[in-house]
Structure formats: C-alpha cells, structure tokens
Amino acid sequence: MIRLALLLALVPLQAIAHPHIFIAAGFEIVTDEQGNLTGIRTTWDYDEFYSLMILEDMGLDRDYDSVLNTAEQAALNGFDMKWVEGFNGDLVATLDGEPLSLTGPLETTAALREGRIVTTHLRRVTGTPELTGHILMLKPYDPTYYTAYEVTLPVTVPGREGCLIESIPPEIDSALANMQQKLSTLDPSMNPEDAGLPDIGADFATEVEIQCPAS
C-alpha cells in the first residue's frame, strides 16, 4: 500500500481518485461434505484511523483500551453490514469465469483488536456448485476506489487438502495509466469522486485464484 500511495502521489493530475479507507481482507471458502462450494466467509480488518472514527462516532471504547464490554460489542456488530439494494459487498466472485450469485451478509461478527475493527460475514453461494476441478476467482474491490482492499489475511479452504491458492496483485503501472486516461476525460475542476468513474477501483484490485484438485 505504501508503494501504491507513493505512485499515486506522482501522478501529475490536479485531482485524483484515491482511497480513504484501507482494509486488509481474508477469505474462508466453505464447502459441504461432497466438496461443493456453499459459501464465502470474508474478514475485513479496518485501518486504525477509520476504526477510531467509527468508535468515536458510535461512542465506543471511550477509555481507548481496545476492550469492549458486552453492550459495546453488540452495538458494533453489523455496523458495516447495512447494505443498500444492489451492493455486491465489494466482492466479485466467479467460477470458471462465470459470476457466482451470493446472498447478503450472514453470521456477522465484529471485534476490536489493538485499535483496529475486525469484522466477518458469511455469504451463501446460490446453487452450491462443485468446486473440485474448477477455478474460483475472488476479486475484492470498491468500484469508486473510496475503499482500498489488500488481501493480506489468510485465504483458506477448511477440510480440503491440496488446494492451490494464488494471489495475483494488480499491475500498478498499467492501473495508473488507466486511471490517468479516465481522469483526462474530465473537466480539470471536477472531483473524480463526484464524476461516477466506472469501476476505477478494479484497476488496483488483487485477485485470488483457488483451485482444488480431486482428492
């Protein structure tokens, strides 16, 4: 993220889209006894500054000891799960290139760990397709690039051995070129965040490829 921020600072544009929230993401691939894909459990680990903003806004952890009581814990749980209709959870999931249909967030949790808010949620996969022998791709990103996701937390497939998991980082130079091209079409006085640039965050997204061979 430091290298990305440095590169963005060098882009010769008066106004540039840039992230305001930084999230470390991780995934647990959920399967049934037959090895079919049933769900994707996502972990979001928010940056310290945004976590502090949320805690202060909600009036939690007033003594700044990163310890929440039962009532505070209950209040925090689900703060980021009030999704508007059509929101995809900042996650594009495909199987062999075909989009997967996912439910909204289920089994939500939230915790405060060393000043950072960490939340999890489960999304069920419609149809429970077979995972063995297929390629599952996960691409977490915010199309507006207001939130930046880095897949630095574990990606696991519990109960399955031999699964190959590869993180494919974005090509930063190409992403910057794409961003410059998109921004060059705007009026110099216009804020890119207000311009509705389509899918600008996809250029900076990490992809995760999961393949589970037959056992």
- The pLDDT profile of the chain, 215 residues, written as one tens digit per residue, is 444 443 344 344 334 457 899 999 999 999 998 889 999 999 999 999 999 999 999 999 998 898 999 999 999 999 999 999 999 999 999 999 999 999 999 999 999 999 999 999 999 999 989 999 999 999 999 988 899 999 999 999 999 989 999 999 988 656 555 665 665 665 655 555 555 555 778 888 999 999 998 86
- What is the residue-wise DSSP string for 87-125? --TTEEEEETTEEPPB---EEEEEEEETTEEEEEEEEEB
Per the structure, how many domains does the chain have? 1
pTM of the model: 0.82
CB 132 within 8 A of CB 141: no
Cα–Cα distance between 173 and 142 in angstroms, integer?
A: 19
Cα–Cα distance between 75 and 62 in angstroms, integer?
A: 14
Cα–Cα distance between 91 and 140 in angstroms, integer?
A: 4
Note down the domain range covering 186. 2-8+17-211
